Chain A
Amino acid sequence: MKSKKLLIFISFFVTLNIASTVYADDLTKRVGFGFGNPYISIKLGLSPKCSIEGRGAFGSGIKVRGGRFYYNFNPQDKAVIYTGGEYSQISFDTKNISGDGSLKYLFVGGEYFITSHLTFNLDIGPIYLSLKEEKTNISSKESAWLYN
């Protein structure tokens, strides 16, 4: 029930942004730095429609490092709708166990230009996660939904 309310909120947010004023903008060769929950990133616009991003997320003993590819549907607008994919490597050394793994994430989302230099973005999609403990070789695989 909580997740449904959240999805309604996201839908409302995205729709509201699209209805807002158009903000002509070209993302080519623009570099952006991002901070999120909890991650840091650096993003580079390759063309008006395509961007790549390097991302690192860190928790207690958990490190996630990877890259993203974005396809922007409407880069000239103030609210840019995008889709893309992410692949990241995971390493962990916490709770007396250590190991590594990977994640694959397909997403769709929106980036809202608050000003021409400051944006807010949110994406959602299915994630496939695979982890393996190094000493016992016990692994865990999980599919879930993620919003970032």
Chain B
Amino acid sequence: MRRILLSLLIISIILSIASKSHAKIHFGVIPIIEEEIDEIIEKIKTKVPQVTLKAWSDGMSFTFPEGVFEFGEYYGGYDMKYNSHSQLIFYRLWNWEGGYVYNIIYDGFGRRIGGNAFLPTTNPYISYNIHIFDISFDDHGEYKSFKTTINGYLFTYP
């Protein structure tokens, strides 16, 4: 009888604290975990990008290593590289979710001359390389040709 009274007392204390607490009461662990995941997603979306400025021998670049942008339903980062004439010569976009890297290369006049994308495979050392475009110009800066090819697998060794 004493044990039952003691346990009842403990239950009463717990229930009393819970009823006076401002914290939510959840049924099962999954709903509370889902709420926390939603909170993390909100934190990711509102994170302020940290810009890094890098100086190169042929120009400078702005990098957003912690940067967050919304690209459809995915999140990733990007950086840009400029030459000494402030012309964009390289643009890179990467995605945390799919792990792909998308590069665009510009000539000294800010014209896109090439690009490719790396897509991951299940093997961490093999990715699929897609050569998206290859644009060439003649000596007078006029458009000459455009070529798109798809390459095979790209092997990377540690």
A-B contact count (CB 8 A): 140
A25 to chain B, nearest CB (A): 15
Q: How far is the CB of B78 from chain A (nearest CB, A)?
A: 15
A59 touches B34 (CB 8 A): yes
| B150 at the A interface (CB under 8 A) | no
Q: Does A138 contact B (CB under 8 A)?
A: yes
Among listed B9-17, B52-60, B84-92, B118-126, interface-contacting one:
B9-17
B39, A140: Cβ atoms closer than 8 Å: yes
Of the candidates B23, B24, B33, B68, which one forms a contact with A92 in the assembled complex, judged by CB atoms under 8 Å apart?
B33
| Residue numbers in B under 8 Å from A50 (CB-CB) | none
Q: Interface size class for chain B?
A: 35 or more
- A62 with B34: CB separation less than 8 A: yes
A33 within 8 A of B: no
Q: Chain B interface (Cβ within 8 Å of chain A)?
A: 3-4, 6-8, 10-12, 14-15, 18-19, 21, 23-30, 32-41, 43-44, 47, 68, 73-75, 96-97
Q: Could you list 25 A-B pairs, sorted by A, with CB under 8 Å? A: A3-B18, A7-B15, A10-B15, A11-B15, A18-B4, A37-B27, A57-B29, A57-B30, A62-B30, A62-B34, A81-B4, A96-B97, A97-B37, A97-B41, A108-B10, A126-B23, A129-B33, A133-B44, A136-B47, A138-B47, A140-B40, A144-B24, A145-B25, A146-B26, A147-B27
**Given A77-B4, A97-B37, 8 more pairs with CB closer than 8 A:** A6-B25, A62-B33, A64-B30, A73-B6, A124-B14, A124-B18, A136-B47, A140-B36
